[in-house]
Amino acid sequence: MIHRSYNDPEVHYFYTKEAEGEESLRFVVISDLYGYVFEGGNGVIADRASDTSPDAILIGGNMITADESDITPLTDLVKRLSQIAPVYYSYGEQELKYVKNHSGEDGKTDELREELTAAGAVVLNEEYADVSLYGIDTRIGGMYNNAYEMTGLDHKVKKRYESTYKFLTDYQNTDRFKIMLSSRPESFVYADACDTWKVDLVVSGSSLGGLVVLPHYGGVFGGSQGYFPEYIHGMYQKGDVNLFITSGLSSPGKLFSRENPIPRFNNPPEIAVLDISGLSRSTAADGSGAADATENTEESQKSDAEY
């Protein structure tokens, strides 16, 4: 069961319906690789993602470790994925720590963003991209911070949440189909986040499917959610928001080390395929398929650089 949990990533399909439209989109969702390299290389991830013919690929963070010495395996994977479909990459805890550890003399340089962008990804760190995927106007955002309890007793926004509050306020101001890549599901499942912010779909990872999965009981460990958490893997409805959580591809640290005394168990690496139906084309879109999606993705990369 341990060997199965660190080898031969499996493709799992999930479905949700947003409204009463007649169009649909397919997303591949991956996260939580933690710098792991599968036997034979990580090309297996790209190969299996390609077989599903996605309209876009969403990466939910923690794909490297904060002390990674070589991110070439990640950038090579992103290059492969970007040849399949547009790639949107949101930072997780490990990416944020990596950037802090490699910020250069000025303390501001984000070398990781530069390399991921060069590999073909649109990096979203409290940013969003407006794109048209096959004629469906979509806004894809990415964030790591909490989306709840941002104000104090005086109803003023707490200083550490000012940028996140501004980002979410701006992000929700659109009629587009809104997807938020939020590395931690806790960012939206706690308190009233799903009632406060107008998001159609939140996509998360980080919880690793509970790490250890027991038959009839499910995932055991849920981080701040405690043991046998409610929001751990799959599709959930919370308020008006659909929340999808992938169980990810690996786990932090080396097996049976101080960092990782409990390995993944009965929990195969996951390449999630998320089919969303009930969507509508924009009346102004001339949607001509893949060319339309590619063109708008290039535009979003330019706008992100100016954000």
CATH code assigned at 161: 3.60.21.10
> Which residues lie across from 178 on neighbouring strands?
139
CA distance 131 to 178: 11
pLDDT higher than threshold 70 for residue 182: yes
Total structural domains in the chain? 1
Residue 301, pLDDT score? 40
Contact status, residue 254 vs residue 241, Cβ threshold 8 Å: no
Q: Of 159-163, 211-215, 229-233, 300-304, where does mean pLDDT reach its minimum? A: 300-304
- 61-65, 98-102, 118-122, 302-306: range with lowest mean pLDDT: 302-306
Separation between Cα atoms, residue 277 and residue 263, nearest integer Å: 36
Tokens 């250069």 correspond to 104
- Res. 43: pLDDT tops 50: yes
Task: State the average pLDDT over residues 199-203.
Answer: 97
Q: Which of 237, 233, 201 is nearest to 56 (CA)?
A: 201
Q: What is the pLDDT of residue 241?
A: 92
Strand residues in the chain grouped as ranges (E): 10-17, 23-30, 56-59, 87-90, 121-124, 127-133, 136-143, 177-182, 201-204, 213-214, 218-219, 234-238, 241-245, 270-279
User: What is the C-alpha to C-alpha distance for residues 237 and 242, in angstroms, rounded to an integer?
Assistant: 5
Highest mean pLDDT of the ranges 241-250, 252-261, 275-284:
241-250
**In which band, very low, low, confident or very high, does the pLDDT at 149 lie, cut at 50, 70 and 90?**
confident
Measured distance CA(90)–CA(221) in Å, rounded: 23
Note the pLDDT tens digit of each residue in 91-103.
999 999 999 998 7
Task: Report the pLDDT value the prediction gives residue 222, as an integer from 0 to 100.
Answer: 86
Q: Which tokens sit at 191?
A: 């308190």
* pLDDT the model gives residue 37: 94
Q: Which of the pair, 60 or 191, is modelled with greater confidence?
A: 60
- Yes or no: say if 84 and 48 are a contact pair by the CB < 8 Å rule: no
Binned at pLDDT 50, 70 and 90, residue 282 comes out as: confident
Q: Band of the pLDDT at 303, cuts 50, 70, 90?
A: very low
Residue 260 predicted with pLDDT over 80: no
Percent of the chain with pLDDT over 70: 89
What is the extent of the structural domain holding 110?
4-306
Percent of the chain with pLDDT over 90: 74
pTM: 0.90
